[in-house]
Amino acid sequence: MNAFTGQTFQVHQLISIKQVVEYTGLSRSTVYDIMNEKSPYYDSTFPKKIKMTQNRICWSALEINQWIESKMAER
Reference 21, options 32, 9, 36, 37; nearest CA is 32
**pLDDT attached to residue 8:** 62
How many C-beta atoms surround the C-beta of residue 35 within 10 A? Answer: 17
Q: Say if residue 72's pLDDT is above 90.
A: yes
Q: Are 7 and 15 in contact (CB under 8 A)?
A: no
Q: Is residue 56 helix, strand or coil?
A: strand
**pLDDT attached to residue 31:** 98
Helices (H) and strands (E) in the chain, counts: 3, 3
Of 3 and 59, the structure prediction assigns the larger pLDDT to 59
pLDDT digits (tens, 9 = 90+) for 9-53: 565 789 999 999 999 999 999 999 999 999 999 999 999 999 999
